[in-house]
Amino acid sequence: MGFAAFSSNHQSLYRLDPRTKILLTVLVGIVMMGGSIHGPSAIPRALLALAPFGLLLAERKYRQGLLYLFVLLLSVGVESYLVTRTQGALNLILVIVSSLFTRFVPGLMMGYYLVSTTRISELIAALEKMHMPRQIVIPFAVMMRFFPTVIEENNAVREAMRMRGLHLSGGNVSAYLEYMLIPMMMCTVKIGEELSAAALTRGLGRPGARTSLCDIKLRGLDALLITISLLAFALWIVL
């Protein structure tokens, strides 16, 4: 899964305001964590659980969307049918695995959608429009750039090892520490310092209001999705 949030040329097919994506992520996470797949509350839960699938398809992320739908339907099927027909240790394993997938995967996929379709500058502008304190905005901006950079560095270290014919097979702990862990620790510290300095250089820490070139505003599609998600959330609370 590639994260387009860190590229400057991402063009969304259906451009949603980052605030809409944040709201959907929060609501999907809350609703899917509680309630049951049976009874009246299953209707709003199913509606919000399908939100990541529809949004991923709208962004032409067909492989991720279909994989998510398959995992979700499989987990719901296991929780609905196999759990009631098994017992003992197998029943316990099925309950734990299916419950984890049905309750955590939708929220994780919404988070992936948020990150992969939103540029950092757009996300910062949206957070500032939400009047979030800078004590949250600056660390969040650094964090969102930190993990992809660490992944890239890890891939670079692995590629360098491969070119030199170095392998970590056989459970060689000393080789792992020498070839992987120590370089990654040094890169992690350096990346954190550089990203923090870059954030401050861009003026994130200066006092007063900041201007932004990002066109952040709620549109008709945002209003529609916000209304549907809030109605589903209210219905879930009532039921």
**pLDDT-based confidence at 225, cuts 50/70/90?**
very high
pLDDT score, position 205: 63
pTM: 0.76
pLDDT score, position 210: 66
pLDDT score, position 204: 64
Residues 51-105: pLDDT tens digits?
A: 999 999 999 999 999 999 999 999 998 888 888 888 888 888 988 998 899 999 9
The answer, yes or no, to whether residue 145 has pLDDT greater than 90, is no
Domain map (residue ranges) of the chain = 14-119+217-238, 123-201
pLDDT score, position 55: 94
The pLDDT > 90 percentage for the chain reads 29
Q: How many CB atoms lie within 10 A of CB 145?
A: 18
The answer, yes or no, to whether residue 4 has pLDDT greater than 60, is no
The answer, yes or no, to whether residue 27 has pLDDT greater than 60, is yes
Going from the C-alpha of 186 to that of each of 52, 111, 153, 161, the distances in angstroms are 37, 29, 11, 16
Residues 165-177: pLDDT tens digits?
A: 766 665 566 766 7
pLDDT score, position 9: 42
> Out of 37-51, 97-111, 193-207, which region has the weakest mean confidence (pLDDT)?
193-207
The answer, yes or no, to whether residue 25 has pLDDT greater than 90, is yes
